[in-house]
């Protein structure tokens, strides 16, 4: 199972009420944040946008 699929599964489970610890919430938030630049670039087919901030 690839990383994106694992993250998607985890997000769905939490959204459906899975109880996780504060530490797991922080880790989940960090995983999502780390993917933001990749996702933004993937959605920008013409490469006209620029990702700025600590995620770039």
Angle at 23 between CA 21 and CA 29, to 5 degrees: 105
Give the pLDDT confidence score for residue 35 in this predicted structure. Answer: 85
Strand, helix or coil for residue 46: coil
pLDDT at residue 55 above 60?
Answer: no
Angle at 39 between CA 18 and CA 22, to 5 degrees: 30
pLDDT tens for 6-46 read 999 999 999 999 999 999 999 999 999 888 888 888 888 88
pTM: 0.70
Rounded to whole angstroms, how far apart are CA atoms 40 and 56?
10
Rounded to whole angstroms, how far apart are CA atoms 6 and 22?
19
């Amino acid at each position: 199972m690839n990383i994106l699929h694992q993250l998607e599964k985890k997000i769905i489970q939490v959204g459906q009420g899975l109880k996780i610890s504060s530490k797991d919430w922080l880790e989940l938030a960090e995983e999502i944040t780390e993917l933001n630049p990749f996702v933004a670039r993937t959605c920008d087919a013409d490469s006209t946008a620029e990702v700025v901030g600590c995620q770039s």
